[in-house]
Amino acid sequence: MAKVRGAIVVDVEKCKGCEVCIPACPTDVIALAKEVNGKGYHYAYMEDPEACIGCTNCAIVCPDGVITVYKVKL
């Protein structure tokens, strides 16, 4: 079976930096970016992309539905 890794895509302009996704991630992939979006919020991004397992926990807890999770074949 091919090895599979997860990857998340964040809708940066919709993210309000509420940090709910950060503790939801079992492998501590997500952090808030140093940069801000158009509204001035620090948005979520993949700080440690290698560790993502594509469990979709972050997408489930996100109150604004800004996170999309993909599975990437290696």
Partner 1 sequence: MKGNEALAEAAIRAGADAYFGYPITPQSEVIEYLMAEKPTDRTGMVVLQAESEIAAINMVYGAAGAGKKVMTSSSSPGISLKQEGISYIAGAELPCLYANVVRGGPGLGTIQPSQADYFQSTKGGGHGDYRQIVLAPASVQEMADFVRDGFDLAFKYRIPVLILSDGVIGQMMEKVELFDPIPRLTDDEINERYPWATTGKKSGTERRIITSLDLDSHKMEEHNHKLQAKYQEITEKEVRYELIDCDDAEYIYVAYGSSARIAQKAVKLARAKGIKAGLFRLITLFPFPSVKMFEMCGKGIKGFLAVEMSAGQMVEDVHLSVKGCSKVEHFGRYGGIVHTPEEVLEALEQKIIGG
Q: How many CB atoms lie within 10 A of CB 65?
A: 10
**C-beta of residue 48 within 8 angstroms of C-beta of residue 28:** yes
Determine the Cα angle at 16 with ends 14 and 20, to 5°: 115
State the nearest-atom distance from the C-beta of 6 to partner 1, in Å: 24
| Shortest CB 62 distance to partner 1, Å | 10
What are the structure tokens assigned to 11, written together?
Answer: 């809708």
Q: How many residues bind partner 1 (CB under 8 A)?
A: 7
Answer yes or no whether residue 71 interacts with partner 1 by CB under 8 A.
no
Amino acid at 57: N
Q: In the bound complex, what is the minimum distance in angstroms from residue 31's beta carbon to partner 1?
A: 17
| Residue number, 5 or 14, with CB nearest to partner 1 | 14
Residues of this chain, 22-41, that bind partner 1 according to CB under 8 A = 39-41
